[in-house]
Homo-oligomer: A and B are copies of this chain.
Amino acid sequence: MFLKTSNKMSNKRRDFIKKTALLSLGGAAIPQFGMANSKDNNSNSKIITDLRPKVLFFDVNETLLDLTAMKKSVADALGGREDLLKLWFTTMLQYSLVSTVGRQYNDFGIIGAAALQMVAKNNGITLTEEDAKNSILGPIRSLPAHPEVKASLQALKDAGYKLISFTNSSNKGVKTQFENAGLTQYFDDRYSIEDIGKFKPHTDAYDWAARKSGLNPNECMLVAAHGWDIAGAIWANWRTAFISRPGAQLYPLADAPEINESNLKLIAEQLIKLK
């Protein structure tokens, strides 16, 4: 019932991540999952279930799509200040949640443009609302997939997995993104939090996606390249696979994901082995 895998994480991140991923899967209520061996906390291994999740949900931006072109466009809008990109992206994520906890909703791209205006002003950069929007909304719709993505999605489909995209972008936005990146054919469905009006990682967003697909939370697995998305999914009792793309960090105060690899190919290989 259990598969003991060697832990691929070699960096020190491991030091401050709790190693009780299975506990968060509602293990007590699901006898076949059981409990991780907590005595094993200081070893370099962990125990995961070898049962397949019933659906794989994929975050889109950065997880599947390469944001490089959008980052270049935004850096241009910031007068070449590439050093401000991470601050802009983090401010956008912060304000997506500011909106959600304030019972408001705007398109993710509109929030991104507002965040860009704030970062620009704080750095003495003049940027009109229209220029801010154009710098984001143009390129975000035509991003290419990361190089390993298509083959990995095809391999997962061939292995019998059902794939659903699950994004903070709008319905129209992700439809256009997938058409332009050539990803439409790989997915059984596309979910956008636009339908519920609460951005990930709100627990309600994961609950909604699970219910919409007719599953219990612990039958869902999120594949994502953002620590906050992984944390939110774990707190919603989902299973998780983290793609540790450059610049991505897990949240130290959340449990560890079940799978943690540097690209989707390596994650797919692990998932295909499950029964």
Enumerate chain A interface residues (CB-CB to B < 8 A).
12-13, 15-16, 83, 86-87, 90-91, 93-95, 97-104, 106, 110-111, 114, 117-118, 121-122, 126, 129, 198-199, 201-203, 227-228, 231-232, 235-236, 247, 249, 251-253
CB distance from A97 to the nearest CB of B (A): 4
Alpha-carbon gap, A100 to B236, bound state (A) = 13
Alpha-carbon gap, A101 to B202, bound state (A) = 4
Alpha-carbon gap, A106 to B126, bound state (A) = 38
- What residues on B are CB-neighbors of A95 within 8 Å? 228, 251, 253
Q: Give A235's nearest chain B residue, CB to CB.
A: B102
* B118 x A251 contact (CB < 8 A): yes
Which of A87, A231, A236, A253 has the largest number of chain B CB atoms within 10 A? A253
Q: Describe A's contact surface by its main secondary structure.
A: helix
- What residues on B are CB-neighbors of A117 within 8 Å? 16, 252
> Given B86, B98, B114, B121, which contacts A201 in the complex, CB threshold below 8 Å?
B98
For the complex with contacts A101-B201, A101-B203, 12 further pairs of A-B residues with Cβ separation under 8 Å are A87-B87, A97-B98, A97-B101, A98-B231, A101-B101, A101-B202, A102-B203, A102-B231, A111-B253, A118-B252, A121-B249, A122-B249
Q: Give A86's nearest chain B residue, CB to CB.
A: B87
* B102 x A253 contact (CB < 8 A): no
- What residues on B are CB-neighbors of A232 within 8 Å? 98, 101-102
Which of A94, A100, A203, A231 has the largest number of chain B CB atoms within 10 A? A94
* B97 x A129 contact (CB < 8 A): no
